[in-house]
């Protein structure tokens, strides 16, 4: 009798089934809980989002709010991923507004990165860049999400420009950043520039 009555046990089960891809079972356990909280909902929403079942993730997010349960950072990160992948920019903007109202960006760089990634995937690159500049803390994932967005949508000159801004911001690039740069060089036929980045990568940042 613990599954329905003990929210800790129930949440652990939902999380376990979600991570194992048994989403119907996770949903069944979730429906059987007498009480649900943000962690319970987030476990199910994250499971759907990670398995590419974005419509189900949206449905759970809406039902969660109908129940009067406020999302937490994990919920927002998962649903922003769904927005970016499906191009649901209107929903993404609504979530962004809710995040701002709750002042969550002040203390959570991962949530800021998820926002930038969502806008970048939706080709709203000016907004993505604006979000980046307003973050109190920026890391290599933050910059790479924006750089990757510019590259994905063919704005290769902006890829190189934002890399320079990243370095000037004191952020150390990683192999993913250089992969994005070299890909942009390849697409633009910039062989000289690619040689420069290749040397910088190994000489200045010890990336072999």
Q: Give tens-digit pLDDT for 137-188.
A: 999 999 999 999 999 999 999 999 999 999 999 999 999 999 999 999 999 9
Report residue 107's pLDDT band, with 50, 70 and 90 as the boundaries: confident
CA 184/CA 195 separation, integer angstroms: 13
Does residue 10 contact residue 29 with C-beta atoms inside 8 Å?
Answer: yes
Task: Please list, in sequence order, all residues whose beta carbon lies within 8 angstroms of the beta carbon of residue 141, skipping any fewer than 6 positions away.
Answer: 109, 110, 113
Counting every residue written for the chain, the total comes to 208
Residue 169, judged by CB atoms within 10 A of its CB (0-12, 13-18, 19+), counts as middle
Task: Please list, in sequence order, all residues whose beta carbon lies within 8 angstroms of the beta carbon of residue 42, skipping any fewer than 6 positions away.
Answer: 71, 72, 74, 75, 78
Report residue 35's pLDDT band, with 50, 70 and 90 as the boundaries: confident
Residue 20, judged by CB atoms within 10 A of its CB (0-12, 13-18, 19+), counts as exposed
Is pLDDT at 15 greater than 80 in this prediction?
yes
Task: Please list, in sequence order, all residues whose beta carbon lies within 8 angstroms of the beta carbon of residue 162, skipping any fewer than 6 positions away.
Answer: 129, 143, 146, 147, 150
pLDDT tens by residue, 69-104: 999 999 999 999 999 999 999 999 999 999 999 889
CA 27/CA 16 separation, integer angstroms: 12
Instruction: Supply the pTM of this predicted model.
Output: 0.87
User: Residue range 12-26: average pLDDT?
Assistant: 95
Instruction: Reduce the DSSP state of residue 160 to 3 states and report it.
Output: helix
Token pair of 119 as six digits: 């806008």
pLDDT of residue 92: 95
Report residue 23's pLDDT band, with 50, 70 and 90 as the boundaries: very high
């Amino acid at each position: 009798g613990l599954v329905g009555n003990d929210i800790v046990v129930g949440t652990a089960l939902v999380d376990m089934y979600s991570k194992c891809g048994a989403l119907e079972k996770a949903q069944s356990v979730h429906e059987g809980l007498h009480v649900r909280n943000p962690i319970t909902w987030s476990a199910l929403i994250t499971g759907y989002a990670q398995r590419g079942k974005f419509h189900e993730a949206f449905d759970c997010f809406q039902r969660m709010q109908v129940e009067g349960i406020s999302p937490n950072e994990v919920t927002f990160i998962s649903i922003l991923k769904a927005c970016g992948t499906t191009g649901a920019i209107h929903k993404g903007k609504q979530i962004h507004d809710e995040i701002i109202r709750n002042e969550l960006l002040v203390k959570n760089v991962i949530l800021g990165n998820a926002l930038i990634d969502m806008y970048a995937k939706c080709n709203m690159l000016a907004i993505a860049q604006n979000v980046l500049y307003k973050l109190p803390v920026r890391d290599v994932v933050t910059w790479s999400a924006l750089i990757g967005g510019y590259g994905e949508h063919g704005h290769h000159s902006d890829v190189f420009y934002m890399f320079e801004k990243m370095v000037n911001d004191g952020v150390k690039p990683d192999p993913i950043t250089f992969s994005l740069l070299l890909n942009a060089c390849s697409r633009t036929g910039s062989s000289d520039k690619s040689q420069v980045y290749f040397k910088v990568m190994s000489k200045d940042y010890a990336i072999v």
